[in-house]
Amino acid sequence: MNARRLPSLALACVLGLVSGCAREPGGRTAIQERYDALAAAVRAGDAGRVHALWTADPAAVGSPLATLDDARISGGRVTEWTTTVQRWRLVGDTAVVDAGVRSVVAHEQSSTVTSQVVRGFWVHDANGWRIVRTEPLGAADVESAAR
């Protein structure tokens, strides 16, 4: 084998492994499924289930618990809370996930729609993937994540 081709071969192997992780049920798919389970619990108004599934700070950006609390305080109710994984990458043993979060809070006369992009940090343990922290993404972060 030519020594010049070795780095490109190594890169191809690493990319194959990393992209394979993203497709495995233990990676991107499992995290999206967890977000979907959170959305179903929010729609059902099952605060206990939301608390069980959301393991990051309840008041953190993108938190369904914060959305439920804000709706309750304002006299509304959450009719939709959805999250879509937009970017997923593994950094060490932590999955760094950029996700679009959309919520709709219905009030008597109107509805409030909120959309934001947040970065979630997920770790895997014996119970599967769990979110441990989130942070807001600014416009520059969102543009770079889209590239």
- The domain segmentation of the chain, as residue ranges, is 5-146
Neighbours of 105 (CB within 10 A): 22
pLDDT given at position 133 = 96
Q: Give the whole-angstrom CA distance, residue 46 versus residue 63.
A: 15
Chain centroid to CA 30: how far?
Answer: 11
pLDDT given at position 22 = 41
Low-confidence ranges of the chain (pLDDT < 50): 6, 9-25, 142-143, 146-147
Q: Give the whole-angstrom CA distance, residue 147 versus residue 140.
A: 11
Convert the pLDDT of each residue in 22-39 to its tens digit: 434 468 999 999 999 999
pLDDT given at position 10 = 46
What CATH code is assigned to 5-146? 3.10.450.50
Helix axes 28-44, 64-74, angle to 10 degrees: 20
